[in-house]
Amino acid sequence: MNKEVTVYEPNQRLKIGFFETWVIMFKNIVKSKELIIQLFKRDFFMSYKKSYLGLAWILISPLVGIVSWVFLNSAGILQPGDTPIPFPAYVLLGSSIWGLFMGFYGSAGGTLGAGAGFINQVKYPHEALLIKQTAQHIANFLITFVVNIIVLLLFGVTPSLGILLFPLTAIPLFFLGAGLGLIVSVLSVVASDLTNVINIIMGFVFYAIPIVYQIDKIENPLLQTVVQINPLTYLVTGARDIIVEGTIHYPERYLLVAAISFVFFMLSWRLFYVSEDKVIERMI
Amino acid sequence: MDKDVVIKIDNVSKKFTRSIKRSMFYGSTDIFKSMFGIKPDTTKLRKGEFWSLNDVSFELKQGEGLAIIGHNGSGKSTLLRLINGIFPPDEGSIRVKGKIGALIAVGAGFHPHMTGRENIYLSGTILGMSRNEIKNIFDEIIDFADIGDFIDAPVSTYSSGMSIRLGFSIAIHSRPDILLADEVLAVGDLAFALKCHKKISDFRKNGGTLILVSHSMNQVRNACEHALWLDKGMIKESGPVNEVCDKFENFMFKKDSDDKSSSSVGTHITNDSNTIITRVEFFNDKDEQTTAFDSGSFFKARIFYKCNRSVKSPIFTFGIANVENVSVVASYSNYTLDLSDTEISGEGYIEVIIPNLYLRAGNYRCTTTLAEGDVETVLDWHEKNFLFTINANKKLTHGIAQIPVEWKI
């Protein structure tokens, strides 16, 4: 009988090197392909099973969102600036990308929570939950995003061809969002206060990104500095500008922040791996 | 690790915290340390922590069956979870060879809005089966669960028995090398329980290894050949299942008697303080007072009463329960003795005689009541308050009684 021997020891995961952790986790994800698909099906389709309109809700919510932007536009509340596209469309795109980031953060943050029903009973790689959560978010986002673009087209706003590169600009957003979310996912098991604190901070961070205003229109020097050192400024506006104009305004800073996001994600991924061991027994 | 050994537990300890706040705090500090690559010292108890498992070692060979017994909170489920790899030990090491199937999580991940059919794929995947594996045994799973047309209805419409059937069926068909079962065999109706036993015994015959956690000594004796008795996280006894179970049952019995006075272990409820049962004495065939009998021997219980008023048409009841609280004998005096025109008062006694007490070795507790007129009008009630023992003997039987049986061909 040549069966694989599994060993469980204290602090076992801490003894594994960084690089090996990534390899293990990556392999686990590949191995859990079917689990991810099954869980995705369960959580994505089943959430609509009890409603009459079913999956139509995925379309309804963004449409309603757009109506409010159109209203604000015609009411002239949002001052049109010298943006390449009408300002409301500009804001709509920006906040939709912010939503993409927050979704990455939120779905990673729910990684352990998503398995709460059986994480304490069955052994399986929890990395799979991160992928399932993210896939679910991307599916929701894509639908909303496509609806947004169609509405913009109807209003005569044409995005640039750079929109084809948009998926690439979503990757650093994922790294930063998921990196943050994974840490929160583990820590919130033992300190649920943390989730609240970060949510409050995120409320402020939104305004420290030039989404509802333009970066060169800031007069307060302090706010200007804050916006300039905020890594999300570059990730969010970069993704938006590539859609609107087909270029990224601060390419060096963008690439630097993207690289840092990647490293941050890898570190956080490792941290998730070594510390989830310590919190699962406390998931009560 | 030896060739045949499939589970090897070496000096395993695991600590827990009772207070949630403290548990959260220790979790945070441990994560913080891990963040900087410092290994938290898991070997010392911090304030508020206790050892849920303490220095447990054993090994199990392929095809063996091990029962883990002990009081609630003795660490049985913790041990199963450690073996299952849900969380790591704080000391020692666990080695497991082969695929583990856990009957701890019956119906893990079931979504209430999905049909039974869809849930089989979901739960099967969670338990580590591939889509093809599930496809191949799909019909077997449905057959075994035997829930009829409900298989195409959402699980939320199932009775609790049905979802357990389905969950159990998926888990047992996941083809594990080692099966961990936590109290699950007690589920479902009798027919299904029998099916499960059959399935588990087939699993054993095909070389499967079983670890069973159960409070039912009968089940444990039937399903396993080894037993491990955990007490406050430590191994108190381990060895052949009958030896360990006997010791455990004796211990439970003694503990009961030590907790209270030696002659009284249960509860005494008096509805009328003028009419009480004062004590019960037991006698053997030589009319000597004793509390130890041989199986099949003459047994007499003398129930003493003290009535400060006269009781018209009294009815006495007498019952014997084993350590698992299964009632093995229950009799009312009015079955054989008509006292409807009788009055009792003052002090006296009534006798219950069992010519051949065919009980298996072990400890028993007697319940007796005094009622007036009808059996519901209870004046005095001793619930499992009087103890006697059937001496150990070499006769091999299963079941709660030791009735003489002969075989002929």
Confidence of residue B273 (pLDDT cuts 50, 70, 90): confident
Residues A279, B31: C-beta atoms closer than 8 Å: yes
> What value does the mean pLDDT take over residues A36-51?
81
Residue B150 DSSP class: G
CB contact, 8 Å: B132 with chain A? Answer: no
Considering only the beta carbons, identify the residue of B16, B24, B96 that sits closest to A5: B96
Q: Which of B313, B354, B296 is nearest to B330 (CA)?
A: B354
Sheet holding B49-61, edge to edge: A5-8, B91-97, B5-17, B49-61
Considering only the beta carbons, identify the residue of B1, B30, B85 that sits closest to A5: B1
Do B63 and B167 belong together in one domain? Answer: yes
Question: Which helix (DSSP H) or strand (DSSP E) does residue B330 occupy?
Answer: strand B327-332
The predicted structure's pLDDT at residue B375: 85
B55 and B10 in contact (C-beta within 8 Å)? Answer: no
Do B299 and B193 belong together in one domain? Answer: no
Do B245 and B303 belong together in one domain? Answer: no
CA atoms within 13 A of residue A196's CA, in its CB half-sphere:
3
Question: Which helix (DSSP H) or strand (DSSP E) does residue B308 occupy?
Answer: strand B299-312
Q: Which of A120, A180, A148, A160 is nearest to A242 (CA)?
A: A160
| Residue B386 to residue B35: CA distance in whole angstroms | 60
| Residue A258 to residue B161: CA distance in whole angstroms | 53
Residues A42, B122: C-beta atoms closer than 8 Å: yes
Domain assignment of residue A171, yes or no? yes
Whether the pLDDT of residue B358 is over 60: the answer is yes
B303 and B385 in contact (C-beta within 8 Å)? Answer: no
Do B241 and B380 belong together in one domain? Answer: no
Instruction: Report the amino acid identity of residue B41.
Output: D
Length of chain B counted residue by residue: 409
Task: List beta partners, residue B380.
Answer: B270, B370
The predicted structure's pLDDT at residue B389: 87
The total number of structural domains that make up chain A: 1
Which residues of chain B lie closer than 8 angstroms to A121, CB-CB? 86, 102, 104-105, 108
Do B248 and B298 belong together in one domain? Answer: no
Domain assignment of residue A6, yes or no? no
Which residues of chain B lie closer than 8 angstroms to A191, CB-CB? 24, 28
Give the distance from residue B133's alpha carbon to the nearest chain A alpha carbon, in angstroms.
Answer: 12
ipTM: 0.81
Q: Which of B152, B147, B145, B194 is nearest to B170 (CA)?
A: B145
Residues B90, A190: C-beta atoms closer than 8 Å: no
| Residue B174 to residue B344: CA distance in whole angstroms | 66
Which residues of chain B lie closer than 8 angstroms to A4, CB-CB? 97-98
Residue A134 DSSP class: H
Residues B111, A46: C-beta atoms closer than 8 Å: yes
| Residue B300 to residue B315: CA distance in whole angstroms | 18
The predicted structure's pLDDT at residue B217: 80
| Residue A74 to residue A70: CA distance in whole angstroms | 6
Query: Residue A249, class by beta-carbon neighbours within 10 Å (0-12 exposed, 13-18 middle, 19+ buried)?
Result: middle
The predicted structure's pLDDT at residue B262: 42
Domain assignment of residue B407, yes or no? no
pLDDT in tens, A214-239: 877 788 888 888 888 899 999 999 99
| Residue B266 to residue B383: CA distance in whole angstroms | 5
Do B214 and B317 belong together in one domain? Answer: no
Lowest mean pLDDT among A48-57, A88-97, B274-283: A48-57
> What value does the mean pLDDT take over residues A49-73?
73
Q: How far is CA A60 from CA A52, A142, B211, in A?
A: 13, 14, 52
Lowest mean pLDDT among A34-48, B252-266, B313-327: B252-266
For residue A5, give the chain B residue with the closest CA: B97
Instruction: Report the amino acid identity of residue A16.
Output: I
For residue B30, give the chain A residue with the closest CA: A278
Which residues of chain A lie closer than 8 angstroms to B25, CB-CB? 190
Residues A121, B108: C-beta atoms closer than 8 Å: yes
Give the distance from residue A263's alpha carbon to the nearest chain B alpha carbon, in angstroms.
Answer: 15
Q: Give the mutation candidate from A42, A46, A119, A277 for the B interface (greatest B CB count, under 10 A).
A: A42
Domain assignment of residue B400, yes or no? no
3-state secondary structure A164-187: HHHHHHHHHHHHHHHHHHHHHHHH
CB contact, 8 Å: B348 with chain A? Answer: no
Supply the range of the domain harboring residue A140: 12-282
Do B128 and B62 belong together in one domain? Answer: yes
The predicted structure's pLDDT at residue B263: 45
Which residues of chain B lie closer than 8 angstroms to A275, CB-CB? 30-31, 34-35
Query: Which residues in chain B (78-117) have CB-CB distances under 8 A to chain A?
Result: 81-82, 84-100, 102, 104-105, 108-109, 111, 113-114
Give the distance from residue A79's alpha carbon to the nearest chain B alpha carbon, in angstroms.
Answer: 47
Domain assignment of residue A148, yes or no? yes
> What value does the mean pLDDT take over residues B277-303?
93
Q: Which residues, 6 or more positions from A198, have their beta carbon under 8 angstroms from its beta carbon?
A: A180, A184
Supply the range of the domain harboring residue B362: 267-390
Residue with tokens 């430590």: B234
Query: Residue B94, class by beta-carbon neighbours within 10 Å (0-12 exposed, 13-18 middle, 19+ buried)?
Result: buried
Q: Which residues, 6 or more positions from A94, have their beta carbon under 8 angstroms from its beta carbon?
A: A209, A210, A211, A212, A236, A237, A240
Domain assignment of residue A236, yes or no? yes
Do B172 and B196 belong together in one domain? Answer: yes
Q: What angle do CA B53, A186, A7 make, to 5 degrees?
A: 45
What value does the mean pLDDT of chain A take? Answer: 85
pLDDT in tens, B28-60: 888 888 777 787 777 888 888 889 999 999 999
| Residue B1 to residue B3: CA distance in whole angstroms | 6
- How distant is the alpha carbon of residue B267 from its chain centre? 22
Q: Which one of B196, B218, B253 terminates a domain?
A: B253
Do B103 and B237 belong together in one domain? Answer: yes
Residues A271, B35: C-beta atoms closer than 8 Å: yes
Do B293 and B178 belong together in one domain? Answer: no
Considering only the beta carbons, identify the residue of B25, B37, B95 that sits closest to A5: B95
User: A250: which 2 tokens?
Assistant: 């601060």
Do B228 and B290 belong together in one domain? Answer: no
Q: Which residues, 6 or more positions from A18, have their beta carbon under 8 angstroms from its beta carbon?
A: A266, A270
Which residues of chain B lie closer than 8 angstroms to A187, CB-CB? 28, 31
The total number of structural domains that make up chain B: 2
A11 and B42 in contact (C-beta within 8 Å)? Answer: yes
Which residues of chain A lie closer than 8 angstroms to B156, CB-CB? none
Considering only the beta carbons, identify the residue of A5, A38, A278 that sits closest to B121: A38
CB atoms within 10 A of CB A133: 28
